[in-house]
Amino acid sequence: MLTKTNVIRTISKFPDNFSIDELVDEMILLDKIERWIQDADNGRVISENELDKQIEEWSK
């Protein structure tokens, strides 16, 4: 979930003029990064070896 602090920090780095598309893209990226961090903090990750095994299974 996005935090107001991170949104404000991100927006403050934008130039004075920007498009809504640029803003939306940046907010989507920020949201994904924050979710990935939460998942890692909560142990919802898999090892690289497990990922390799899953990819191998998917490619069959």
* Residue 22 lies inside a defined structural domain of this protein: yes
In the chain, % of residues over pLDDT 90? 92
Question: Tokens for 4?
Answer: 């107001």
pLDDT of residue 9: 94
Collect all residues with Cβ–Cβ distance below 8 Å to 10 and sequence separation of at least 6: 26, 27, 30
Domain that holds residue 44: 18-58
* Residue 4 lies inside a defined structural domain of this protein: no
pLDDT of residue 60: 85
Question: Tokens for 56?
Answer: 């191998």
Question: Tokens for 11?
Answer: 């927006």
Query: What is the count of structural domains for the chain?
Result: 1
Residue range 1-51, pLDDT digits in tens: 788 999 999 999 999 999 999 999 999 999 999 999 999 999 999 999 999
pLDDT of residue 12: 96
Q: How many residues does the chain have?
A: 60
